[in-house]
Amino acid sequence: MTAGMMTDYSGFIRQERDGRQCLRLAVEGMNCAGCAFKIEKALNANENVEARVNVTEKRLTLIWSGDTATGNGLVEKAAALGFRFSPVREKEDGGDDQARLLLRCMAVAGFASGNLMIFSLALWFSTRESMGATTRDLMYWYSALIALPAVVYAGQPFFKSAWRALSHGRTNMDVPISVAVILASAMSLFETVRGGAHVYFDSAVMLLFLLLVGRYLDVKARAQTRHAAADLLSLMNGTATVVQDGVMVRLPAEEIKPGMLLLVAKGEKILADGIAQGEAVVDSSALTGETLPQAVQAGGRLLAGMINLGNPVQLRADKSQNDSLMGDIIELMQKAEQGNAAYVRLADRIAGWYTPVVHALALAAFIGWWGFGGASWQLSLLYAITVLVITCPCALGLAVPVAQVVAGSHLFRKGMLLKSGDALERLEKVDTVIFDKTGTLTTGNIVFENRADFTGEELSLITALAGHSRHPLARAAATTANENISVAAREIEGEGMEGRYQGETLRLGSAAFLGAAPDENDEKMGLWFSAGKGAPKRLIFSDVPHADAAETVAQLKKKYRVLMLSGDRLPVARAIAGRLGIEVFQAGVDPRQKFAIIDAEINRGRRVLMVGDGLNDAAALSRASVSMSPSSALDIAQNAADIVYQQKGIASVLAALETARKTQKIVRQNFALALGYNVIAIPLAMAGHVTPLVAAVAMSSSSLFVICNALRLKGEQGWIS
């Protein structure tokens, strides 16, 4: 890419929540994990730059600090390695284009192979004397006329990729393949010219055919592993009806801006998050997995990805498409698939050594057989070609990403979003599960029982204070009062709310925060409220565990230690723990104590899964070995969690643990298969026990086997035991 031809990507750059710039690009010319390693190494060498390549999707995610112009320079640096980049939206069908090219090349190679077999069979089953030298040479020339044009056309997927790599001073897995095919064809042509016997035109073309079959099946199999969020992109495309000054205008979805008034017809997709201007009935299954229609009242939220099932409805957009919940889901899943798990790091290092090692081994095979093994140079070259073909780093490169993608899709269908690429790896090692109580083990649908004990003015003050908090008890207290009062308030983490009204200090929170003396034997949940110098008054609440909580805890206890931490008083915590069968619990813990408890567990060698939803859980979620949070949780809790689940109850925790266990089992199988294949195949090839055709079949099969093994994770029936 020259400076004069440099593409400006600034229109495709979006800003992350932390202020950094993000650019997502499709990568052309990348065919193995070694290519991905080179791209990442070149880009991550820059300060304040984070680059991660999704090998399965052939996508580059580039994040950096600084202005948008920096992105062009970073892409130019990666392009100097011989790769081509384009915005993802422009290349959504790139996989189909690649598959069609491979199919055409495969058809040419297959047709040529079939015709070459006519001559080859005659040559195989006759001798030079019985056929005659002239006839044999003529058949070799006919074979050359068929094979050489076929090699030139059918080999272009490999030749072009190899040339791009070499012309930019690097190598990839297509280099040894191209060298092998060219050497086999060149040696055969040389032997034909001199009337020799070592002519392998049929092998060269059949080798290409088998490699193309493997490459085509690999492309199609990868398409099957695409993450569920990629399918959601179709829900983000289209045009929306925007009402501007009473006139309806159709605009592309990406041009929707906050403040625009959208009209959504019956059966139409909602393309931006916003506020409903009237009643609506929607299908939200794409977002939450909820299959039943959902009613949304006027003033309620409508989200991108929902489908309007009722009468036409208007909504006022309050977010751009990229900032919508659907956009966040896609971003989270893409981020998870590009995670840098331990097996991924190991595969990257191995792939980086692939090309020099395989060429050195091929050269060693040639020298060994020709110089010391007594074989002819033609036969020695054939053994070297076999070594070039049979080695395969792709299986190693795919071993982890394919399993992660399939598992991520499975979890998404179960209403769970992976936010970290190594979350499943860490989750599989968990031996201790710690739950927060309110809003996690319990429904969070808390009832304010003793509202009648308070005056109308007190209820208004309580509502004004509680409205500033998202604590479950505070939300339950924020009821409609007889009088609306505005109070400036602040939340004191783990304690409660404090504000000022008409010169008096208002407080709403724990007994300790207000200096009250609670009944230590009371099993009801409660808050305390005080206005000025008045005595604190207790607000009494009731909550119930999720319907699936007891059964899920019972299942978890078969394999894990289960603990409960609660900020409530001991009697309240004891009552809930008793109902759920949790023997180990602690009550009255504040955020610092939760953090300290988890820190102590980890220092004792425990692998802790923390499940929580509140502000007071954020530090604990971050300290845990791995963490989960419900979608109803505070943003700070969701940001700290590795997995966010959308289904009600806690059955998702058990499902995630089972998914992690089975996924890591597949990953280990894939890694063992990929390493074992190369450890066995390379010595056999160097020993002369494998032909180039068998090598081509084996190399293609290794990648396909890894992909198909990971695909066993798809669907409930596909899980391994």
Q: Which residues are catalytic?
A: 436
Amino acid identity of residue 39, one-letter, is I
Per-residue burial over 661-670, b if 16 or more Cβ lie within 10 Å, else e, is ebbbbbbebb
584-586 vs 561-565, strand pairing mode: parallel
CB 253 within 8 A of CB 268: no
Cα–Cα distance measured from residue 614 to residue 629, given in angstroms and rounded to the nearest whole number:
9
Return the half-sphere exposure (C-beta side, CA atoms, 13 A cut-off) of residue 120: 19
261-264 vs 313-317, strand pairing mode: antiparallel
Long-range contacts of 117-120 (CB under 8 A, 24+ apart): 117/202, 119/143, 119/202, 120/202
SS (H, E, C) 266-292: CCCECCCCEEECCCEEEECHHHHCCCC
To which residue do tokens 């099946």 refer? 217
* Helix, strand, coil % over all residues of the chain, rounded to 5: 55, 15, 30
Tell me which DSSP letter residue 345 carries.
Answer: H
14-15 vs 21-28, strand pairing mode: antiparallel
Residues 6+ apart with CB under 8 A from 459: 451, 479, 481, 482
- Alpha carbon 495 to its chain's center: 38
Cα–Cα distance measured from residue 26 to residue 65, given in angstroms and rounded to the nearest whole number:
21
Cα–Cα distance measured from residue 663 to residue 193, given in angstroms and rounded to the nearest whole number:
55
Cα–Cα distance measured from residue 649 to residue 28, given in angstroms and rounded to the nearest whole number:
44
Amino acid identity of residue 653, one-letter, is V
Give the count of beta carbons closer than 10 Å to the beta carbon of residue 378: 17
CA distances from 342 to 74, 385, 409, 438, 668 (A): 26, 33, 21, 35, 11
Torsion on CA atoms 28, 33, 39, 44, rounded to nearest 10: 150
Return the half-sphere exposure (C-beta side, CA atoms, 13 A cut-off) of residue 291: 2
Torsion on CA atoms 672, 222, 63, 408, rounded to nearest 10: -70
Cα–Cα distance measured from residue 654 to residue 558, given in angstroms and rounded to the nearest whole number:
11
Give which of 665, 568, 559, 556 is closest to 611, Cα–Cα: 556
Q: Name 540's bridge partners.
A: 526
SS (H, E, C) 154-198: HCHHHHHHHHHHHHCCCCCCHHHHHHHHHHHHHHHHHHHHHCCCC
Q: Is 500 left (phi over 0), alpha (psi -120 to 50) or beta?
A: beta
Cα–Cα distance measured from residue 226 to residue 54, given in angstroms and rounded to the nearest whole number:
11
Tokens of 596: 């300290």
